[in-house]
């Protein structure tokens, strides 16, 4: 028993003496020397939390040393390229061994160390993303998010998880894309309206109407009123998708009143009202806007879309009458459709004269010309054919 106790005491004394030597080196800015000393400490004390914490501090100092030299000489090749990763791993290991481990004077604690590592990891993720290296971006954004979360810096964790989601999106990993958006919201519900918007469209693609409604409700409850603008378009989409016409029209009235003359609001309202067959209201909004901006391409194209949707509506009604063998109703419907079809064509053609390179308007215009038996100009036909080749 005395031998065992003696060994334990001698080991503890050795580790403290060793750590004191490492600490002194770091205080004297001798990080490479500290690295050699800490390797001996680690070999003799592999399960000592304080040793792991000191190891983390050594690698932080090595990282900072490389960064300082890199700042002075952009062509410098870092001697310790994995220093920050090793520091982070050591901070985590120290916490695993002893959640209450304390650093020596002037050294970083485990939580503070992880917080310090988070920002460089985040920046590394951004750099990788800018190069198109999304796998590496995922690696660093993951580290940044976890570190910020452990350090209880919730807004920064939310930002890192959002960037992580976007990186997964570039990799076409929908499951992780969705999961990281949810993590971002869990970290800081009021930080990023984009998380709610992106999740809404994911649920819409999944035909999950229930969660579409829930995520919007959660977003409007969490995001301050002056930052809810990004949620309005999906809310319009939701009202349209679920057949809540009165709510859609009321929302449009409110948005147009609060944002007079705002082109995006006008276009969104007109678009969803046209989809909802509220043609007259959509036309009224666009007519008022066009009076001030008669040559605005998007307004002209949107007016064409308003009439195009009514044309489609007539086609559906004609087809329904045909299927029901209600022959007497078909000709009146066709006659009523003709002026609508002509107006759709004229507005789309005007938009084409303003901007002949818009894909959606060009496709719509060709379809309308075919329906009216109007020859399709070669330049328009070539543009639409080129879209098909790219698909």
What mean pLDDT value characterizes the chain?
Answer: 92
Over residues 195-203, mean pLDDT: 96
Q: What's the pLDDT score for residue 2?
A: 40
Over residues 254-260, mean pLDDT: 90
Q: What Rg value do the Cα atoms of the chain yield, rounded?
A: 32
Position 300 pLDDT exceeds 50: yes
Give the helix/strand (H/E) hosting 93.
helix 83-97
Token output for 372:
């009216």
Q: What's the pLDDT score for residue 350?
A: 98
Q: What's the pLDDT score for residue 84?
A: 93
Q: What's the pLDDT score for residue 6?
A: 37
| Contact indicator for 244, 276 with CB cutoff of 8 Å | no
The model's confidence at residue 5, banded by pLDDT at 50, 70 and 90, is very low
Q: What's the pLDDT score for residue 391?
A: 58
Position 15 pLDDT exceeds 70: no
Position 389 pLDDT exceeds 80: no
Q: How far apart are CA 111 and CA 133, in angstroms?
A: 29
Over residues 225-243, mean pLDDT: 91
Position 9 pLDDT exceeds 90: no
pTM of the model: 0.76
Position 290 pLDDT exceeds 80: yes
First and final CA of the chain: distance in angstroms? Answer: 79
pLDDT, one tens digit per residue, over 27-79 is 999 999 999 999 999 898 889 999 999 999 999 999 999 999 999 999 999 99
At 358 the three-state DSSP class reads coil
The model's confidence at residue 284, banded by pLDDT at 50, 70 and 90, is very high
- Give CATH for domain 18-101: 1.25.40
Q: What's the pLDDT score for residue 171?
A: 96
Position 361 pLDDT exceeds 60: yes
pLDDT, one tens digit per residue, over 128-175 is 999 999 999 999 999 999 999 988 899 999 999 999 999 999 999 999
Q: What's the pLDDT score for residue 201?
A: 96
Over residues 170-191, mean pLDDT: 96
The full set of domain ranges for the chain reads 18-101
Non-local CB neighbours of 250 within 8 Å, separated by 6+ positions: none
H helices, E strands: number in the chain: 18, 0
| Contact indicator for 32, 61 with CB cutoff of 8 Å | no
């Amino acid at each position: 028993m005395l031998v065992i106790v003696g060994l334990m005491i001698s080991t503890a004394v050795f580790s403290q003496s060793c750590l004191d030597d490492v600490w002194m080196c770091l205080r004297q800015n001798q990080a490479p020397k500290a690295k050699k000393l800490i390797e001996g400490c680690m070999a003799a004390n592999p399960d000592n939390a304080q040793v792991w914490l000191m190891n983390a501090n050594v690698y932080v100092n090595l990282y900072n040393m490389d960064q300082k030299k890199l700042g002075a000489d952009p062509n410098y090749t870092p001697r310790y390229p994995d220093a920050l990763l090793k520091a982070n791993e050591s901070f985590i290991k120290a916490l695993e061994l002893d959640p209450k481990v304390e650093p020596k004077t002037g050294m970083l604690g485990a939580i503070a160390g992880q917080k310090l590592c988070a920002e460089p990891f985040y920046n590394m993720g951004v750099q990788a993303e800018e190069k198109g290296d999304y796998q590496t971006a995922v690696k660093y954004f993951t580290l940044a998010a976890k570190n910020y979360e452990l350090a209880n810096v919730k807004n920064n964790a939310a930002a890192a998880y959002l960037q992580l989601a976007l990186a997964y999106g570039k990799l076409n990993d929908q499951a992780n894309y969705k999961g990281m958006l949810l993590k971002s919201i869990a970290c800081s519900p009021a930080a990023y309206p984009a998380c709610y918007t992106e999740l809404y469209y994911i649920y819409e693609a999944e035909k999950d109407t229930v969660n579409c409604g829930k995520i919007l409700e959660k977003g409007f409850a969490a995001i301050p009123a002056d930052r809810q603008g990004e949620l309005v378009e999906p809310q319009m989409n939701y009202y349209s998708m679920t057949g809540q016409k009165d709510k859609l029209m009321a929302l449009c009235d409110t948005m147009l009143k609060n944002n007079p003359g705002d082109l995006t609001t006008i276009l969104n309202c007109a678009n969803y009202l046209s989809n909802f067959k509220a043609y007259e209201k959509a036309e009224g909004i666009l007519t008022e806007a066009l009076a001030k901006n008669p040559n605005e391409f998007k307004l002209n194209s949107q007016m064409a879309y308003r009439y195009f949707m009514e044309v489609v509506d007539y086609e559906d009604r004609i087809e329904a009458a045909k299927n029901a063998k209600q022959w007497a109703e078909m000709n009146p419907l066709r006659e009523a459709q003709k002026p609508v079809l002509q107006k759709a064509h004229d507005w789309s053609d005007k938009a084409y004269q303003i901007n002949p390179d818009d894909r959606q308007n060009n496709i719509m215009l060709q379809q309308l010309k075919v329906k009216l038996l109007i020859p399709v100009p070669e330049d328009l036909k070539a543009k639409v054919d080129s879209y098909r080749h790219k698909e």
